[in-house]
Amino acid sequence: MTTVGFIYPDHAAEDDYPLAERMLGDGLSLPVEHIYGTDLHAVPELLDLGSPERLAEGARLLAKHEPDAVIWACTSGSFVYRPDGARTQADQLAAAAGVPASSTSFAFTEAAKALGLHRVAVAASYPDDVAKLFVEFLGAAGVEVVAMGSEDIDTAAEVGRLEPDKVVDLALRHDHRRADAVLIPDTAMRTLALVNTIEDQLGKPVLTANQVTIWHGLRLAGDSRTSQDLGALFATGTGS
């Protein structure tokens, strides 16, 4: 049994995780524990949300599940710390959890590396100033953002209420002909059931926050299982 624990902020799209558990087959547990703060997409609030104290509480909540790895399932609450700060954040979480740990921001850069992506388009739900920090984070990892769209949605709760057709439209509108893939960086957005649909329409890979978070967590736990239901990232055991 592989167990990967996820620290998830507040409530929005956490039902993507039990959905992934069903999609990925037997011998897998993806428990989610919640920490709470404001769900506002604003830099001071995001820095507070990803603080060592809050993540240590998440690690304590996950301990009963005996996870093989732990992921901070929040993109903005990790990249807002910038690359060096996000690495410190992940290292502190690993120390608190006693197992390998990371965050969704690093999941994106690792997934891009695994797929050999060099130029991407970003379809962000965040306000523009927050979205630009994600672009900066990707750039520091050697991923060029050739186009960025920001929807200026203020809270995670609003993102979690987006209908599936709106999520698909978001990805399609913010694609770019020079992009190798489209990245959708918000774990508050339900995307797992839509990844293949979006890829079929784009004709290229799509990386979404909950998708890469689960993929990265599995790899940290030494599990390289594949799926035909979760996009190009999961299709061939890339990064195993």
For residue 188, the domain's CATH number is: 3.40.50.12500
Residues 78 and 61 in one domain: yes
Residues 58 and 126 in one domain: no
pLDDT at 39 over 80: no
pLDDT at 240 over 90: no
Check: CB of residue 131 under 8 Å from CB of residue 150: yes
198-225 residue pLDDT tens: 999 999 999 999 999 999 999 999 999 9
Which residues, in sequence order, are bridge partners of residue 184? 208
The whole-number pLDDT of residue 140 equals: 97
Mean pLDDT across 44-58: 92
Residues 9 and 80 in one domain: yes
Residues 51 and 142 in one domain: no
Residues 172 and 91 in one domain: no
The whole-number pLDDT of residue 118 equals: 95
Residues 214 and 201 in one domain: no
Residues 98 and 27 in one domain: yes
Residues 89 and 155 in one domain: no
Overall number of domains in the chain: 2
Q: What is the mean pLDDT of the chain?
A: 93
The whole-number pLDDT of residue 237 equals: 67
Check: CB of residue 121 under 8 Å from CB of residue 183: yes
* Closest among 206, 225, 201, 228 to 214, alpha carbons compared: 225
The whole-number pLDDT of residue 40 equals: 67
Query: Which domain covers residue 192, as residue numbers?
Result: 116-207
DSSP character for 19?
A: H
pLDDT at 238 over 80: no
Mean pLDDT across 15-27: 95
Per-residue pLDDT band at 173 (split at 50, 70, 90): very high
The whole-number pLDDT of residue 47 equals: 85
Counting Cβ atoms within 10 Å, is residue 161 exposed (0-12), middle (13-18) or buried (19+)? middle
66-84 residue pLDDT tens: 999 999 999 999 999 999 9
| Tokens 């239901």, located at residue | 229
Check: CB of residue 73 under 8 Å from CB of residue 38: no
SS3 97: helix
Strand order in the sheet with 119-124: 144-150, 119-124, 181-184, 206-208
Residue 45 lies in a domain: yes
pLDDT at 190 over 60: yes
Residues 94 and 141 in one domain: no
Residues 12 and 78 in one domain: yes
Residue 161 lies in a domain: yes
| Tokens 């979205």, located at residue | 131
Mean pLDDT across 100-106: 98
Check: CB of residue 112 under 8 Å from CB of residue 181: yes
Residue 111 lies in a domain: no
Residue 180 lies in a domain: yes
The whole-number pLDDT of residue 231 equals: 96
Residue 76 lies in a domain: yes
Residues 164 and 87 in one domain: no
pTM: 0.94
